[in-house]
Amino acid sequence: MTHTITLIPGDGIGPEVTEAVVRILKASGVAIDWEPHVAGIVAFERTGEALPVELVDSVRRNKVALKGPVTTPIGLGFTSVNVGLRKALDLFANLRPVWNLPGIDSRFAGVDLVIVRENTEDLYAGLEHEIIPGVVESLKIITEKASTRIAHFAFQHARKHGRKKVTSIHKANIMKLSDGLFIDSVRRAAREYIEIAYDERIVDAACMQLVMYPEQFDVLVLPNLYGDIVSDLCAGLVGGLGVVGAANLGADIGVFEAVHGSAPDIAGKQLANPTALLLSAVLMLRHIDEGEAADRIMTALGAVLTAKAVRTRDLHGTASTLEFADAVCRAML
């Protein structure tokens, strides 16, 4: 079967890591008909829209997209394409599995956890205004509907993947109403999954526990802003942003993207590591029931990383982005 999938290479290192990953997917034997679309500054210069309507329509139609990073201008300029896409397609869940890849040195072994981050509301929605000069207000909106939805997503993910425990992360001791509503909603959902253990941690204590004893965590469910921060912390446990994949999921749509940004400091130099986007692509393959191709890629990636002969600069090697991709392709032969 041929899958039609929207491809958003993005900008900065996006096109380089995307080309590498598309090459590896092709070598894995999976048949994909890509529908490429520009986004961000390239699209803005071409069409006046950073998030063209054709792109959004393409993802709606195909239900699946692979996306490279897109630069968000700081301060003025267009608003985040990433946030816009999540809103337009109601991609309410951000899923980030975090585990030790073979051959990657990190401070911890035995990390195997999943971050489930609410993706649509909270302070991260960026609802801000100036009350009077020198005083601004930023609104933290938490709803029962979105909190309940993400809670069920986390428990269903745990159930489907045989995970044993869900931990919700909050600061309800201080934000009694907003984070209080979040954990109340998760607690109510938890009652429907009696085979899965449930506990709660305050976000600051959870951060300390994560960097001391990460092996005690299984599935973590968090409101948007804590999810943003804690998920990068967790990436750091296993070797950094270059070796973790992610998915933004809605009711029937999945946009699979690396967790790192467009890395303008190394863009266009073939220095980027495509592993993070490749791991997102592997999540995508499992999502579209191409588990065999996903397994083939993971075995090949593990072999290349363990051999340590071909590595990109961030992993102290000298290989280019495409040389690394070619090594993974060769390992699948």
Q: How far is the CB of 98 from ligand NAI (least distance, A)?
A: 16
How many angstroms separate the Cα of 19 from the Cα of each of 2, 25, 199? 19, 10, 42
> 92, 252 in Cβ contact below 8 A?
no
How many angstroms separate the Cα of 242 from the Cα of each of 2, 101, 238, 296, 324? 29, 11, 10, 20, 13
Q: What is the 3-state secondary structure (H, E, C) of 227-247?
A: HHHHHHHHHHHCCCHHHCEEE
The token duo for 157 is 């993910």
Determine the Cα–Cα distance for residues 318 and 322; give it in Å rounded to an integer: 12
| Interface stretch with ligand NAI, choices 63-71, 91-99, 203-211, 301-309 (CB under 6 A) | 63-71
Asked if 257 interacts with ligand NAI (CB under 6 A), we say yes
| Interface stretch with ligand NAI, choices 1-9, 41-49, 202-210, 253-261 (CB under 6 A) | 253-261
Phi, psi of 44, rounded to the nearest 5 degrees: -60, -45
Q: How far is the CB of 68 from ligand NAI (least distance, A)?
A: 7
User: Which string of x and - marks every residue 76-105 that binds ligand NAI (by CB under 6 A)?
Assistant: ------x-----------------------
For the beta carbon of residue 236, count every other beta carbon within 10 angstroms.
Answer: 17
Asked if 260 interacts with ligand NAI (CB under 6 A), we say yes
| Interface stretch with ligand NAI, choices 70-78, 184-192, 198-206, 214-222 (CB under 6 A) | 70-78
Q: How far is the CB of 263 from ligand NAI (least distance, A)?
A: 4
Q: How far is the CB of 229 from ligand NAI (least distance, A)?
A: 13
Question: Quick one: which of 103, 31, 68, 65 has its CA closest to 298?
Answer: 103
User: Which string of x and - marks every residue 291-330 that binds ligand NAI (by CB under 6 A)?
Assistant: -----------------------x----------------
Asked if 117 interacts with ligand NAI (CB under 6 A), we say no
| Interface stretch with ligand NAI, choices 114-122, 127-135, 212-220, 261-269 (CB under 6 A) | 261-269
236 vs 261, beta carbon nearer ligand NAI: 261
User: Which string of x and - marks every residue 264-283 that binds ligand NAI (by CB under 6 A)?
Assistant: xxx-----xx--x-------
Determine the Cα–Cα distance for residues 280 and 293; give it in Å rounded to an integer: 13
Task: Rule CB under 6 A: choose which of 261, 287, 295, 302 binds ligand NAI.
Answer: 261
166 vs 278, beta carbon nearer ligand NAI: 278
Q: How far is the CB of 128 from ligand NAI (least distance, A)?
A: 17
Q: How far is the CB of 94 from ligand NAI (least distance, A)?
A: 10
Residue 74: enclosing H or E segment and its boundaries? none
Q: State which amino acid sits at residue 92.
A: F
| Interface stretch with ligand NAI, choices 124-132, 165-173, 204-212, 258-266 (CB under 6 A) | 258-266
How many angstroms separate the Cα of 235 from the Cα of each of 123, 229, 264, 299, 317? 22, 10, 20, 21, 20
Residue position matching structure tokens 């948007």: 224
Determine the Cα–Cα distance for residues 323 and 17; give it in Å rounded to an integer: 11
For the purposes of burial, counting CB atoms within 10 Å of the CB of 2, is it exposed (0-12), middle (13-18) or buried (19 or more)?
exposed
Determine the Cα–Cα distance for residues 201 and 169; give it in Å rounded to an integer: 5
Sequence-separated (6 or more) residues with CB below 8 Å from residue 150: 92, 93, 116, 117, 118, 119, 221
User: Which string of x and - marks every residue 222-251 that binds ligand NAI (by CB under 6 A)?
Assistant: -------------------xx---------
Q: State which amino acid sits at residue 299.
A: T
| Interface stretch with ligand NAI, choices 49-57, 67-75, 107-115, 294-302 (CB under 6 A) | 67-75
Which residues bind to ligand NAI, rule: CB under 6 A?
A: 13, 17, 69-72, 82, 241-242, 257, 260-266, 272-273, 276, 314
